[in-house]
Amino acid sequence: MSEKTIFQKIFDGEIPAKMAFEDEICGAFYDINPQAPTHILVVPKKLIPSISEMADEDANIVGHLFVVAKQIAQDLKLDGGFRLVINNGVDGQQTVPHLHVHILGGRKMTWPPG
């Protein structure tokens, strides 16, 4: 079996993380290197390596990540807005090969992103 991703290790309790939400489909925890006052990652428990590698039948899981992200943003009162980011592949600067949605909030974002 291939090595666990860092996010699987968090789900398995092998690496500590500050959890913001968890259910049977996904977990959300605070990013270790925050790029905004609020920076949370929403991660499926199923190992989907990236958006490019998601299967058609993963659509419900991926959709659920966005439902959870919306709920977290509401609960944390990111009422002025927030940004959801999925980095994909090398050019997308994805560093962890386990799909995740970044929730960034608490400051005004800039566009275009770097």
List interacting residues with ligand AMP (CB under 6 A): 6, 15, 17, 29, 31-33, 41, 87, 93-96
Min CB(100)–ligand AMP separation in Å: 6
- Give the residue from 80, 89, 91 showing the smallest Cα distance to 113: 91
**Among 39, 64, 98, 100, which one carries the catalytic annotation?**
100
Between 57 and 114, name the residue whose CB sits nearer to ligand AMP.
Answer: 114
Between 8 and 58, name the residue whose CB sits nearer to ligand AMP.
Answer: 8
Spatial separation of the C-alpha atoms in residues 51 and 40, rounded to whole Å = 18
Min CB(19)–ligand AMP separation in Å: 10
User: Which stretches of 41-91 are DSSP H helices?
Assistant: 59-75
Catalytic annotation present for 100: yes
Spatial separation of the C-alpha atoms in residues 27 and 62, rounded to whole Å = 12
Between 73 and 100, name the residue whose CB sits nearer to ligand AMP.
Answer: 100
Spatial separation of the C-alpha atoms in residues 34 and 51, rounded to whole Å = 22
Residues forming the active site: 100
